[in-house]
Amino acid sequence: MATPLIRTAEEIDLDALYDVCLGTGDAGEDGSHLYDNPRLLGEIYVGPYVMLPSGFGFTVVVNGHPTGYLLGTLDTRRFEAECETAWWPELRKRYANPGPNPATPDAQLTAELHRPQLASDEVVNRFPSHFHIDLLPTVQGKGVGPLMMDRLFSTLEAGDSPGVHMDVATRNTRAIGFYEHLGFSVVESHDNSVIMGKHLARF
């Protein structure tokens, strides 16, 4: 494998990053069999971090092609508010609200952009920042994840964040082990996922 380069993610990367999101969208495994619309997952979980002022993102590039990302925000509440004013309205125009009982995976995703699940006060008060990391299989297990996490921790430290959290599927035991290895622990449990959090060193 050519040496991976980690750089800031930009708008021009979005299509490739949406592919990464779909390619890791089934609890860390390829999710492309789940959805009819291959862009929807990325439009919800990637786009706003790259495009909105309170988001940030890094991508790992191999042979000129983005093959993974780490996306986040210092301030979850500000990010949620920016999504509400500057990201969800356009998607809501394009994808009609499927109503209270969405039947298909696409409809369930569409419901999320009409009724976004906000982080709880208990989590945000202690861990106000959050992030997502996803690497395609070609760059997994090669030390890229820890390098991306170093970039995350530097960004959070520069922004004086007291703590960071993320949401991970309960069946994604590999990622849970990865986060535990980095000092994260479970701070909230949901039906199929857990929220893991970490206080940052200087607080």
Q: Which of 65, 78, 126, 174 binds ligand COA (CB under 6 A)?
A: 174
Segment contacting ligand COA by CB under 6 A, of 75-83, 99-107, 116-124, 171-179 = 171-179
- 94/181 with CB nearer ligand COA: 181
Q: At 175, phi and psi to the nearest 5?
A: -65, -40
**Nearest approach, Cβ of residue 28 and ligand COA (Å):** 3
| Site for ligand COA, residues 145 to 164, rule: CB under 6 A | 145-146
For residues 53 and 124, give the distance between their C-alpha atoms in angstroms, rounded to a whole number.
19
**Nearest approach, Cβ of residue 104 and ligand COA (Å):** 23
67 makes contact with ligand COA (CB under 6 A): no
**With 0-12 CB in 10 A as exposed, 13-18 as middle and 19+ as buried, what is 162?**
middle
Q: Look at strands 55-62 and 65-73 and give their pairing.
A: antiparallel
177 makes contact with ligand COA (CB under 6 A): yes
Tokens of 140: 């997994």
135 makes contact with ligand COA (CB under 6 A): yes
- Give the helix ranges, DSSP H, for the chain: 14-23, 40-45, 47-51, 76-86, 88-94, 105-114, 121-126, 144-158, 173-181
Segment contacting ligand COA by CB under 6 A, of 32-40, 92-100, 109-117, 172-180 = 172-180
**With 0-12 CB in 10 A as exposed, 13-18 as middle and 19+ as buried, what is 202?**
exposed
Binding site for ligand COA (CB under 6 A): 24, 28, 133-135, 140-141, 143-146, 166, 168, 172, 174-175, 177-178, 181
